[in-house]
Amino acid sequence: MANRVSFLNTHFDRMSSSEAIELLLARLLNRQGGRVYYANAHTMVTAAQNPVLAEALDHSDLLLADGSGVRWGSALLGTPLMHNLNGTDLVPALCKDGAPKSLSVYLLGAKPGVAEEAAANLKKAYPGLVIAGTQHGYFSQAKTEQVLEAIRVARPHLLLVAMGVPLQEIWINQYANQLPSITCMGVGALLDFVAERVPRAPYAIRAVGMEWLWRLAMEPGRLWQRYLIGNLVFLSLVLSYAFAPRRQGEQTT
């Protein structure tokens, strides 16, 4: 089952996909609440530069490894996170297994109209799934309390927060305590995928860990810096950790 390991000074929960689904569904149906995040190379680069995001990750109840970068980097540092546990795969699996148990989900984030389209597709795909509510992510700070109250009244098992890194993690970390018994999960572009606004990579590309390259090809103007520059920064972070013990040893000799 799961165990916590440290990678780039961040504690991840190491488990398989099936273990993650089982554990998450149990937490949801038992209304344990809490904060669940998925961290990929972009997340780790951003956390290294943003202490507020790093703090949010430290306060997670579950932090799952997302993407080939984290798997490769953690293996190099001797703490291998072997499974790709991304929300785009796990959330539909949770909905499938939870629908017969009347799992309820609230969709928060993305552009106006996207959450509603995603909700309709989830309902169609998983009969029995309860859509507790939807809200786009472009609301003002002044409306935050109104949004929180709507979520509290709806009382979903699962709140999907699709605001992108680092906004979603910071938002969840700030407000999760005001949403008792509701599990808050940061899911990035999930609603865009489910609403079919953005095409996901074919399975063969995902299977070899190259989904990031597909996404770059689909949205080069928006994502080139994240993937081309960001991946180099991530590599430098991993290598700096890999060689740090050697440098310390050389300094003491």
List pLDDT tens digits, range 232-253.
999 999 999 888 764 444 343 3
Q: pLDDT of 175-184, one tens digit each?
A: 999 999 999 9
Q: pLDDT of 103-116, one tens digit each?
A: 999 999 999 999 99
What is the arithmetic mean of pLDDT over 55-69?
A: 95
The rounded distance, in Å, linking the Cα atoms of 219 and 74 is 28
Q: What torsion, rounded to 10 degrees, do the Cα atoms 172, 174, 180, 185 define?
A: 10
pTM equals 0.92
Which residues does 84 contact at the CB level (< 8 Å), separation at least 6? 17, 65, 66, 67, 68, 71, 209
Residue that is written with structure tokens 């990031």 in the block: 212
Share of the chain above pLDDT 90, in %: 78
